[in-house]
Amino acid sequence: MFTRSSKWNVKSVILVALIGIIMGVIYTYGFNNVYNLVKLSFLPTGYAPVVDNVFTGLWYMAAPLAMYFVPTKGAGTIGELLAATVEMAIGGQWGALTIFEGLIQGAMNEIGFFPKKERYEKFSWKSVLTGAFFANLGGFIPSYFLFGWSHYQVNVQMLMFIVSMISSLLFDGVLVKLITNLFDKALKPKVA
């Protein structure tokens, strides 16, 4: 029987570290490569900046996965921060900025669960989708200023925000919840 420990212990630390490492590798060698290919194909259309936001929800997934396996405060922030650190360390294209973004995205994702311990343990659709919503804000707002998105036409900026929100809700919300539902069926975990 698998136990989702709501306390920080050696098992919890190892689980969050593994999630961070695995997701960091997936971010770097999976999502980043697909992102680059798709963005390159959109360059002639003038809508390549929108592609920046099509994939954003994929880069937020470490936080809720960490919170599922270790349902306690800080698990999402640490999981996403570790994933970002691994991504940067193994050659992620955004360098040290990745760590800053990962910290913000992880912390914002926890808003859907914070401050009640029961929200972490229950891991409900509402908490996951609320976390995805705030993770998107935590990713979009700094990127807006750091990458000069304010220079784009207003209609492109609005499209970028809408696309990033859909991406976050779809990947960081719905996909993560469906994955954790599969874990629930396969592992039948209890929370301790």
Euclidean distance between CA atoms 166 and 170, whole angstroms: 6
Long-range CB contacts (< 8 A, 24+ apart) of 35-40?
Answer: 36/93
Question: Can you point out the beta strands (E) in 68-136?
Answer: none
C-alpha atoms less than 13 angstroms from C-alpha of 44 in its C-beta half-sphere: 1
Residues 50-54, mean pLDDT to the nearest whole number: 87
Residues 5-24, mean pLDDT to the nearest whole number: 95
Give the number of residues written for the chain. 192
**What is residue 49's predicted lDDT score, i.e. its pLDDT?**
84
**What is residue 51's predicted lDDT score, i.e. its pLDDT?**
84
Name which residue leads in pLDDT, 45 or 64.
64
Nearest one of 174, 120, 112 to 137, comparing CA atoms? 112
Tokens encoding 147:
């990458």
Tokens encoding 158:
């609005």
**CA terminus-to-terminus distance, the chain:** 12
Coil/strand/helix, residue 190: strand
Euclidean distance between CA atoms 60 and 31, whole angstroms: 11
Is the pLDDT confidence value at 1 over 70? no
**What is residue 9's predicted lDDT score, i.e. its pLDDT?**
94
10 Å Cβ neighbour count for 115?
9
**What is residue 48's predicted lDDT score, i.e. its pLDDT?**
86
Residues whose CB falls within 8 Å of the CB of residue 157, separated by 6 or more in sequence, listed in order: 144, 149, 150
